[in-house]
């Protein structure tokens, strides 16, 4: 069967009434949480993970897909109306979109963002569906050394390639790797770094750590700033519909944004931000109205928003086909799979095709639902933006602890939540990025297993790791991604890299 047959089968799974209901709940919750200021997609997904604990695997993952796409949509509304991007990938949207809103063109800005997200999500999900079987075929010949090389590449791109300091990126990554060592060694069964605490034998829960880092750390940081003026909300005036000239100026940026964003998300290049920046630069260069850029150009919303969503779908390519999360959001999604004992990767396509294709198909359905849900209900979402900060953060912490308690109602687990929250606060204070520590924690054990398997095959010969062309090329790219930015920074060209930095996803 080709990808098309599988996709049709998946649509049949995802179109069952219960599954549609799960998808609807997912997109609604995802949008509602994603729209709240200060909450990016990674935190949205982490906060809503406990809602899915007691569902069956298919229903839960479908709800999850809805939450993921919903969180992305919600984030763009926040950045257009509040000018406080909840996530780094929305910075550009905030730049042009908020200017449009101030000129009374908030409606068209929201519309072009929503429709652009829809088109990008549609094309990118279809690309995902048609690419996935090919990558799975390639991945079937991957051995432990290729996987190890892929993970090294993901480590480097997440931690050192972008951001304002390789030192702090790498420190964050190595702290994650150190935490990943806690627990029973998967190959010999020996307990490591558990200090006599039985709970630690299972290792450190990724969701506890992610929620602590993103929710608790962020709440502490914002509280410490003690600036309690609520951000100024720009009201949506006039028609929310786009005029004919808005359409004419939007459709090309949507398509360009999609084809810029998708490959960047699909490569282990760390985050959606880069795609949005590239798309913005492209639109600025190609626009017939370059003078409007910086003052509310609709192309500057349409292109980057499409790129943002396309690369979000792109990160699902390595996640589903290789089991490789390349962003914090994807790392939390991987944790969502693992709660059902599912390991994404080529094997999952073979052993549980209904589930995988149902998930991909439900992404398409979620995308349609979001378009319908977003434009007419925009007034409702805007109301959510006006929640005052005390209630907002009190609620965030309530749900953050709820997730931890729901997964494991123990005092020790809450203590870890608090401990990692304080660590996350300290890291924010000193300018350490958060994504590397999360990715290090979740990928660390896998990288170790693949490394040790590879070395078992070669009987301890390290040269084996670079003797396969694929592994050698991947490791070579990883080395370049580590060294080139170091040289650029040393020559004082680091500003561009720090602009590409991502906090969250």
Q: Which stretch binds another protein (CB under 8 A): 4-12, 62-70, 389-397, 485-493?
A: 389-397
Quote the CA–CA distance of 320 and 118 in Å, as a whole number. Answer: 21
With CB under 8 A as the contact rule, which of the stretches 14-22, 61-69, 368-376, 428-436 interacts with another protein? 428-436
Please pick, from the candidates 103, 137, 192, 289, the single residue that binds another protein as defined by CB under 8 A.
Answer: 192
Handedness of CA 171, 177, 180, 184 (dihedral sign): negative
What is the DSSP code (8-state) at residue 460?
A: T
Among residues 390, 467, 493, 495, the one that binds another protein under rule CB under 8 A? 390
Strand partners for 191? 184
Give the H or E element holding residue 191. strand 191-192
C-alpha 268/C-alpha 247 separation (Å) is 33
Least Å distance, CB 286 to another protein, is 35
Cβ proximity to another protein: between 228 and 289 the closer is 228
Q: Which of 243, 406, 484, 495 binds another protein (CB under 8 A)?
A: 406
Distance CA 171, CA 177 (A): 10
Q: Which of 379, 391, 463, 491 binds another protein (CB under 8 A)?
A: 391
Q: Does the protein bind another protein through residue 448 (CB under 8 A)?
A: yes
Report the site for another protein in 147-166 (rule: CB under 8 A).
164
Instruction: Output the DSSP codes for 466-500.
Output: GSSHHHHHHHHHHHHHHHHHHHHHHTT-HHHHHHT
Piece in contact with another protein (CB under 8 A), picked from 46-54, 81-89, 237-245, 478-486:
46-54
Calculate the alpha carbon distances from 402 to 16, 48, 216, 399, 481 in Å: 30, 10, 13, 5, 39
Does 51 interact with another protein (rule: CB under 8 A)? Answer: yes
Taking CA atoms, 150 is separated from 174, 223, 239, 480, in Å, by 17, 39, 48, 14
Q: Does 421 bind another protein (CB under 8 A)?
A: yes
Q: Does 67 bind another protein (CB under 8 A)?
A: no
Q: Which stretch binds another protein (CB under 8 A): 63-71, 248-256, 267-275, 402-410?
A: 402-410
Cβ of residue 468: shortest distance to another protein, in angstroms? Answer: 17
**Binding of another protein at residue 174 (CB under 8 A)?**
yes
Residue 178 or 281 having the CB closest to another protein:
178
With binding defined as CB under 8 A, does residue 394 bind another protein? yes
- 311 burial level (CB within 10 Å; 0-12, 13-18, 19+): buried
Q: Whose Cβ is closer to another protein: residue 51's or residue 139's? A: 51
425 is a site residue for another protein (CB under 8 A): yes
3-class DSSP string for 391-403 = HHHHHHHHHHHHH
Within 205-224, the residues that bind another protein by CB under 8 A are 216, 219-221, 223-224
Part in contact with another protein (CB under 8 A); list of ranges 246-254, 320-328, 355-363, 400-408: 400-408
Considering only 402, 472, 473, 488, the residue that binds another protein (CB under 8 A) is: 402
CB atoms within 10 A of CB 460: 8
Piece in contact with another protein (CB under 8 A), picked from 90-98, 110-118, 177-185, 310-318: 177-185
Nearest Cα to 434, choosing from 425, 442, 446, 443?
425
To which residue do tokens 């190959």 refer?
A: 187
Interface with another protein (CB under 8 A), residue from 80, 89, 177, 236: 177
Task: Give residue 270's Cα distance to chain centre.
Answer: 9
**Which of 225, 244, 469, 491 is close enough to bind another protein by CB under 8 A?**
225
- Residue 277's Cβ-side half-sphere holds a number of Cα atoms within 13 Å equal to 14
Give Cα separations from 406 to 34, 60, 331 (angstroms).
21, 16, 20
The site for another protein (CB under 8 A) is made up of 50-51, 53-54, 164, 167, 170-171, 174-175, 177-178, 181, 185, 187-188, 190, 192-193, 216, 219-221, 223-226, 228, 389-391, 393-395, 397-399, 401-402, 405-406, 409, 411, 414-415, 417-418, 421-422, 425, 429-431, 448, 451-452, 455-456, 458-460
């Amino acid at each position: 069967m080709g990808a098309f047959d599988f996709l049709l089968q998946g649509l049949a799974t995802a179109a069952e009434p219960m599954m549609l209901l799960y998808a609807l709940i997912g997109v609604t919750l995802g949008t509602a949480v994603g729209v709240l200021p200060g909450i990016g997609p990674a935190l949205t997904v982490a906060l809503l993970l406990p809602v899915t604990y007691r569902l069956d695997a298919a229903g839960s993952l479908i709800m999850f897909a809805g939450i993921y796409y919903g969180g992305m949509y919600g984030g763009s509304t926040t950045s257009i109306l509040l000018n406080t991007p909840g996530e780094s990938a929305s910075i550009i949207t905030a730049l042009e979109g908020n200017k449009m809103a101030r000129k009374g063109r908030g409606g068209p800005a929201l519309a072009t963002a929503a429709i652009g997200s829809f088109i990008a999500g549609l094309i990118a999900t279809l690309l995902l569906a048609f690419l996935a079987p090919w990558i799975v075929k390639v991945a079937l010949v991957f051995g432990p050394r290729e996987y190890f090389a892929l993970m090294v590449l993901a480590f480097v791109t997440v931690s050192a390639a972008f951001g304002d300091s390789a030192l702090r990126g790498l420190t964050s990554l190595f702290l994650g790797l150190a935490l990943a060592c806690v627990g029973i060694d998967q190959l010999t069964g020996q307990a490591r770094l558990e200090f006599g605490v039985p709970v630690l034998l299972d290792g450190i829960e990724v969701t506890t750590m992610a929620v602590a880092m993103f929710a608790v750390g962020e709440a502490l940081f914002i509280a410490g700033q003690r600036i309690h003026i609520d951000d100024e909300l720009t009201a949506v005036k006039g028609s929310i519909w786009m005029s004919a000239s808005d359409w004419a100026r939007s459709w090309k940026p949507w398509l360009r944004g999609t084809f810029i964003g998708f490959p960047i998300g699909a490569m282990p290049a760390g985050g959606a931000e880069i795609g949005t920046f590239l798309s913005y630069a492209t639109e600025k260069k190609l626009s017939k109205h370059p003078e409007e850029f910086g003052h509310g150009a609709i192309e500057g919303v349409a292109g980057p928003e499409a790129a943002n969503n396309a690369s979000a779908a792109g990160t699902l390519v390595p996640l589903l086909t290789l089991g490789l999360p390349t962003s914090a959001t994807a790392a939390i999604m991987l944790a969502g799979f693992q709660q059902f004992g599912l390991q994404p990767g080529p094997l999952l396509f073979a052993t549980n095709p209904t589930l995988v294709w149902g998930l991909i198909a439900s992404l398409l359905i979620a995308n349609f639902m979001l378009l319908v849900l977003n434009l007419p209900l925009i007034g409702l979402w805007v109301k959510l933006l006006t929640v005052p900060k005390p209630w907002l953060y009190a609620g965030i912490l309530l749900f953050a602890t709820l997730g931890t308690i729901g997964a494991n109602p123990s005092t020790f687990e809450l203590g870890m939540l608090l401990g990692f929250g304080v660590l996350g606060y300290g890291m924010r204070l000193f300018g350490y990025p958060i994504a590397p520590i999360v990715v290090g924690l979740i990928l660390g054990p896998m990288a170790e297993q693949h490394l040790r398997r590879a070395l078992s095959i070669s009987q301890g010969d390290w040269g084996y790791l670079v003797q396969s062309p694929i592994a050698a090329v991947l490791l070579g790219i990883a080395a370049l991604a580590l060294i080139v930015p170091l040289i650029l920074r040393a020559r004082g060209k680091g500003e561009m890299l720090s602009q590409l930095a991502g906090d969250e996803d």
